[in-house]
DNA sequence: TGTAATGTTTACCAACCGGTCAAATTATCC
DNA sequence: GGATAATTTGACCGGTTGGTAAACATTACA
């Protein structure tokens, strides 16, 4: 008899590893495009190239699938912020943070939209994780405050600084259609990320009067 | 016999005016929270305080309701950008644009989230309207370019400047839960909009080296 | 190679959801 | 007040969707 997935906490088969990977990849496609309610298991199963009951053998509910997906992505999503280094100098740190966030918007737009969807809906499934986020941001806000105190950047609210970097970078993933529509077909090539990087670096370097 | 709503293009009853208002208000609540697919007509009907068939008497499909809602909101949503004045001086214009956009994020978060939802899903219902948006932005980008040419602000990409203002301000509506979670209960009062305004004004005034 | 565990499929179900219908009720206007 | 148009409701329907049951197929392993 088949053992329900939740029961076998220890050993995972080769097939399990592979199929779960395929499923989560497909789920990312569908969830990020249509949101949680808008996505259907049949859709995900089709993209994953398997039957619905087969998919439900690996993730027993749609909810479980969504949760697994978000948990996995959440980790890598915050990596750029974690790398924010107190020892480094503000110019390098802020510039590279913007770069990395922009790269993620360019290379992982589905992940960005998945989160945007989740937050838009009031973060029903990652409420607790938001507390960890708060601690991380608190920590990094302290770093920024130290830079201010040391006179390396001008006085500013570190939280709103971080919010603004999140917003401006993720915008290119979450509002991609709008950005493309406004820039028009000719200027919508990959070059737009370079343009964005240039603009944002200038904005923040001058805006924070970072001493180089 | 009741005349279907679409037929009577001219005269609208007192009751029609009122009920349609109530319905759109309720629809805004539900659509902005759950997205198009996630929202159900029953839900909207309950919030609107009427039965589902009664609601469908005024809007014959869920789609029609959503469309009416977006069309109505779209107009007022772009007002701040339209007011962007070429004659004005950059400091006043940019500052007040930021202010107005922040006020809208504070006072009309549901409208903001409705749009965010729409754009996230690839703007299926307002694709054509995006063309008007492009024209408007093109126009305003020209204004900004003129300021650059006149040496009133530093050289920058006007499109990405506009994107960044959209992103940073709407962030406080669309990602409200996250902002609150990060700021914590004590700093999540209405004061956060003032803090945001202060930060953003400083960022943009210095960032663009606006001559005062 | 045999067998037990794992993986897959077909058929199905109950709940939900968008929308209809016809009858009942209420507002409007002469 | 009565005819007529506008509004409201309860009952219902067909399609979709999340999820299940059980038979069937395959793999892992002794």
Taking the C-alpha atoms of residue A131 and residue A203, their distance in angstroms, rounded to an integer, is 30
Whether residue B55 contacts residue B34, with contact meaning beta carbons closer than 8 Å, is answered with: no
Q: What residues of chain A, 27 to 86, have a C-beta less than 8 Å from chain B?
A: 33-38
Give me the DSSP letters along A175-189.
Answer: THHHHHHHHHHHH-S
Confidence (pLDDT) at A161 = 98
CA distances in angstroms from B198 to A125, B95, B102, B112, listed in the order given? 33, 10, 11, 21
Per-residue model confidence as pLDDT tens digits over B14-64 = 778 889 999 999 999 999 999 999 999 999 999 999 999 999 999 999 999
Among B74, B128, B163, the residue to mutate for chain A (most A Cβ within 10 A): B163
Q: What is the pLDDT of residues B177-189, one digit of tens each?
A: 999 999 999 998 8
Q: What 8-state DSSP symbol labels residue A5? A: T
Mutate to test the interface with A, among B140, B153, B155, B177 (most CBs of A within 10 A): B177
- For B209, which residue in chain A has the nearest alpha carbon? A206
Distance A12 CA to D30 C1' (A): 20
- Nearest chain B alpha carbon to A172: B163
List C-alpha distances in Å: A138 to A143, A157, A187, B169.
9, 12, 38, 21
- A19 CA, C5 C1': Å apart: 18
**Does B10 score more than 90 pLDDT?**
no
Question: What is the pLDDT, as a whole number, of residue B16?
Answer: 82
CA dihedral A58, A63, A64, A70 (to 10 degrees): 120
Which domains does chain B show, CATH number per domain?
14-72 (1.10.10.60), 78-207 (1.10.357.10)
What are the DSSP calls for chain B, one per residue?
-PPPTTT--S---HHHHHHHHHHHHHHHHHHHHHHHHH--HHHHHHHHTS-HHHHHHHSSSHHHHHHHHHHHHHHHHTHHHHH--SSS-HHHHHHHHHHHHHHHHHH-HHHHHHHHHHHHTT-SS-TTHHHHHHHHHHHHHHHHHHHHHTTSS----HHHHHHHHHHHHHHHHHTHHHHHHHHHHHH-STHHHHHHHHHHHHHHHHHTT---
Q: What is the mean pLDDT of each run of 10 residues along chain A (212 residues)?
A: 41 78 98 97 98 97 97 92 88 96 97 97 95 96 95 97 98 98 93 97 94 72
Q: Which residue is nearest to nucleotide C28 (CA to C1')?
A: B13
Residue B3: predicted pLDDT: 44
- The answer for A 135-174 residues in CB contact with B (under 8 A) is 137, 154, 156-157, 159-164, 166-168, 170-172, 174
Strand D bases, protein C-beta under 7 A? 5-11, 16-23, 27-28
pLDDT of residue A212: 67
pLDDT surpassing 80 at residue B2: no
Q: Judge contact between B160 and B153, C-beta under 8 A.
A: no
Determine contact, residues B72/B24, Cβ cutoff 8 Å: yes
């Amino acid at each position: 008899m088949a053992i329900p997935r939740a029961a076998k906490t220890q050993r995972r088969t080769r097939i399990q590893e592979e199929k779960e990977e395929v499923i989560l990849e497909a789920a990312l496609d569908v969830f990020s495009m249509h949101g949680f309610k808008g996505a259907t298991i049949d859709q995900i199963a089709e993209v994953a190239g398997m039957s619905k009951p087969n998919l439900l053998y690996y993730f027993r509910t749609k909810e479980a699938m969504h949760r697994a997906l978000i948990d996995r992505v959440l980790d890598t999503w915050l990596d750029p912020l974690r790398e924010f280094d107190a020892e480094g100098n503000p110019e390098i740190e802020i510039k590279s943070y913007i770069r990395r966030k922009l790269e993620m918007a360019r290379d992982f737009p589905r992940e960005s939209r998945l989160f945007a969807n989740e937050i838009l809906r009031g973060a029903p499934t990652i409420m607790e994780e938001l507390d960890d986020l708060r601690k991380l941001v608190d920590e990094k806000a302290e770093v920024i405050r130290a830079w201010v105190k040391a006179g390396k950047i001008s006085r500013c609210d570190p939280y709103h600084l971080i919010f603004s970097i999140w917003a401006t970078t993720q915008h290119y993933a979450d509002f991609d259609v709008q950005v493309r529509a406004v820039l028009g077909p000719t200027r919508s090539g990959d070059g737009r990320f370079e343009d964005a990087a240039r603009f944002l670096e200038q904005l923040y370097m001058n805006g924070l009067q970072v001493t180089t």
